[in-house]
Structure 1
Amino acid sequence: MYEGALHLAPNVINHDGSIAIRLVQDPFCRHLVKRLRKPLVSTSANISGAPSPASFRDVSPEIRNGVDYVVEYRQDDETQARPSRIVRITKDGGLEIIRD
């Protein structure tokens, strides 16, 4: 999480003024961001308070049906993914582990 976000849509800024920035490793996602030459804005693939899905199969129908588009990529992949590590970068450059 990064504190002090500026010039972003209000719905992507947390109540404390911070934003989350994901550093993607997946080749498809990296290529998509590179081709768009813009950041992607997204929420998590779970309802707030629900467990993070470990694979596409675990994404709830409510989420799948509530989006504009679902990429047809790795939907049959059963490799169990771990939730992302979340680290807060403080204004003084310090790091605080939120989720490991």
Structure 2
Amino acid sequence: MLAAVSAQSFAATEFQKDHPRRAEVNHRLDNQDKRIHQDVKEGKMSKAEAKNLHKEDHQIRKEEKSMASQNGGHITKLEQKTLNQQENGVSKQIGK
């Protein structure tokens, strides 16, 4: 019985993690993280600026997880649009 429950939990987790709208939002967050690190490495951004942008991205990721937890593991198209708009704001601050 425990094995069946574990298999179901694993399947639900895999579906949730790989949901296309969530994957797109999280891929963008990962990409922005890399861009921020690269800008710091190249001296285009201070560590303080990077810290603030990482904080903003962390809040977006936290919001995405919260939205998904309320929707059975996915986010709606409207939620995805909202998160993408927030990500666009952070993205515009990278590479200035």
TM range (shorter): under 0.3
TM-score, structure 1 as length reference:
0.20
**More helix by percentage:** 2
**By percentage of residues, which structure has more strand?**
1
